[in-house]
Amino acid sequence: MIKAIKFVSVPTRNQDAALEFYTKKLGFKVITDAPFDGTQRWIELGIPRADTRLVLFTAEGQEKMLGGFMNISFMADDVEATAKEMKARGVEFVQEPTKADWGTVAIFKDGDGNRFVLSTG
């Protein structure tokens, strides 16, 4: 049976710029950075204290996904504090932290304009 999600892929126009964003601004760690097909590298990142990995890679034919809403939600214990720290590192938020009955949610974007949810568990 399925036991976990190994990785999710985030499309990117410029892998070097994306790598800098995710490592410097979000604090992810490089697991793999290797040539893939002559035009892209396979860049796999680890999220501190999590098993799920993020891959900075645009599969052929998926370029239209760039700059859209990603069906990926990142979790933080304290969304407001995490958003504040991310903003200090230059991350742009398109929705400020908002409290709801079920928790707190915010939306940020990466350098390619991909938008992600940041929410409490």
> HEC profile for 6-38?
CEEEECCCCHHHHHHHHHHHCCCEEEEEEECCC
Query: What is the CATH number assigned to the segment(s) 7-119?
Result: 3.10.180.10
Q: Which pLDDT does position 75 carry in this prediction?
A: 95
pLDDT at res. 4: 84
**Is the alpha carbon torsion for 33, 36, 41, 45 positive or negative?**
negative
121 residues of the chain, pLDDT tens digit each: 888 889 999 999 999 999 999 999 999 999 999 999 989 999 999 999 899 999 999 999 999 999 999 999 999 999 999 999 999 999 999 999 999 999 999 999 999 999 999 999 7
Rounded Cα gap, residues 35 and 21, in angstroms: 20
All structural domains of the chain with their residue ranges: 7-119
Per-residue pLDDT, 5: 87
**Contact between residue 32 and residue 55 where contact means Cβ atoms under 8 Å apart:** no
- What is the predicted pLDDT for the residue at 78? 96
Contact 14, 58 (CB under 8 A): no
pTM of the model: 0.91
Tell me the chain's radius of gyration from C-alpha atoms. Answer: 15
